[in-house]
Structure 1
Amino acid sequence: MNKLSRVGVFSLMLAASLTIMVGSAITPALIQISEHYGVEDMATWLTTLPALGVVLFAPIAGRLIDRVGSYVALFSGLILYGAIGVSAIWLSGTIPIFADRILLGGATAIVMSSSTGLLAEFFVGEERLKMIALQGMSIEAGGIIFLSIGGVLGGLGWQWPFMIYLIAWVALLFLIIFVPFRKSSNLEEEQKSNTTNATSILSVLLAALLAMTMFFIAFITLPFYLAENFGLGSASTGYFLAMISLVAVISASVMPKMVKRFSDYQTLLTGFSLFTIGFIILSVGQSLFALAILAGIVIGFGFGFTIPLANHMVVEKSNVSNRGKNLAYFSSFTFLGQFLSSFVEGISSNLVVIYLIAVMFGFLIIIFYSLWLKRNKKRQTLQIQ
């Protein structure tokens, strides 16, 4: 088996980090960009439509990976990602630019699923969990870095943030030079012909959707929460959100130790409990900025204990023949959660009401996965007997 060097690992991490910036790279210059395209009333669609594109094209991405292998799929996805992303500069009109953003989401689905699939082919067991945790850290770190770059480029002109998408072609060069070509191989997967049933995969995909929805409810409402209660401006809010991403990076590094000490579902349950606690703090701590910071830290840890872990669980519950399809489903469910979070604005104009509803759903999720964990323990006990 070809070993993957440290630079090869970095190459796959760089590719994975592109997924977080698909919608957010242009956010710092969103006002100028929306004015240029004449879509001021639908500006947020420029950031959310790529998520819809991931949802729509994920099944196609899965079939592509299962047919040509993760390496070739990632190669193709990186080419498309850079080309579609930067081409928006030369488009005009509402329909062309919105179509471009949806297609960019399709390229993202390929990159996200195939980069994880390729990583899974080089590592197994505990090492694989550590690598996928590192991938989660890279994605969040990429969000911090690319948002900062987007802000600088946005100051030069509306079109410059789109140039960030060309980093995909840099990742492509790293892939060609430092990652050994391999078809989807039959490492240990050939030995585990019994794949976990579809219900188990669905429970993990549902966890990914719910975790991403809860995380993004906090992420998209916090700017308004911080402005209303503490008078924070855009720069200070940006630092606050970057702090949450940094905490998510730290928690993703801790997550493998949590899984080793407890279990995967117990760690997921901990993540959802942290989300719920974070929303409770936000709903009662409107007069103390220290509580807002605490809520951000707790929610950041919730992300690190859920999304990277769910990604790893999907890999572990798959084999070579269906890994691409299952990872594509994971991409679809996580971005669907991100897309669904954008509808919270229609629930209420009172953020406390939104947070209390999130708390209620958090408790329902905790109950569901507690019962699921109890059922799994009972099943394992019966199998041992």
Structure 2
Amino acid sequence: MSARNSNEELARTYGTPLYVYDLSRVRAARRDLFRWLPEGVEVYYAFKANPHPDLVRALREGPGPGCRAEISSTGELATALEAGHTGEEILYTGPGKTPGELREAVRGGLRRFSAESLSDLEHIGAAAVAEGVVVDCLLRINSATASAASGVRMTGKASQFGIDSETVGDVAAALRNVPGTSVAGLHLFSQSNAADEEALIGEFRHTIETATRLQEELRVPLRMLDIGGGFTAPYGRVGDRAAYPKLAGELSAELDLRLPGWREGRPRIAVESGRYLVGDSGTLVTSVSNVKESRGRKFVILDGGINVFGGMSGLGRLLPVSVQVDTGEPTEQASLVGPLCTPGDVLGRDVTVPALAPGDLVQIPNTGAYGPSASLQSFLGRPSPVEVVIDDDGSGDGSKVVVSVSRIERSRTYTERGAAA
């Protein structure tokens, strides 16, 4: 049975909008990424891309090296623990860690955090002291310069992320002496979705050079260096994940030059990835609710829009959303829009599509990342999408079996007017 027919059968069984995630694609992406990297480099999976526990397990478990967990909330922490991660496999990042969240994380066994500022480090230390432990912290650095101008820039401007590289020396002594913390290394994440392999390599080289310079300036032992990511994969469009055949050799050479003990784990080297690892595992299946024309333009109205996919486009990170369909032979142009009462509910303007009619299915490829958990699910109270996880059935002929079926539940409790507090 073809993948397309499989998805159509699943849509008939579970309805739409429907996400289908293929675990064999998740494992393939994990194998590829480790193959492109030098041996011994650790990979942290960014849960924000897709926190589905089945995908997290597939990335963590063998055969071969597995991914560690990079989280930014106690909700993601719960998922990580449910999927089998231990505290030592988890890195807690993000600029908005609250005292309660930090206490919960430390109680849950986490011993590695990324600190975005001196005050953030102090908050982490306070939680550790309250629990009677000392935690390792990476200082996240907002580098003043960058190598490549491609991709989504994460440094070089005023930001809630990271300590400005040009001023970090001014607070070096304070950073080294926060009770409850031990500065274990540095965390630099300069870009997302690099344009090509040369841009990615150039950025990693710049990151490693910056880290070695800051290590001397801060006078801290560099036990771990997280050099971020930038690995590229298509989002909602036909295409393949990028290949990086030169990366292992170029990155190894730069590390040998700047940090000659890295092959023995001095320091441990880590990268982060989200979309690259899970993006091509997912297909979004929607149904056509209506087709209309307005002033010479055709609009195909789907039962799922930015409430199930592309909600993060409003943040600018993934703008613009412009999907491509993997359904039939394209014959005309139409705008694919969702069911929400806002003109912003657009998945693609003037997209080339086959002739579509109410009841037809539209399949959007490469939607395994930044799907339901990154969308406007509560807006207008539309039904959440069903998420179906499939995997090879072991026959060797490409047939699939359903592993799990779930739906993100939305809940809201209203307090009656005049009710006792």
Structure holding more strand per residue: 2
Q: TM-score, normalised by structure 1?
A: 0.25
From the two aligned structures, give the one with the greater helix fraction. Answer: 1
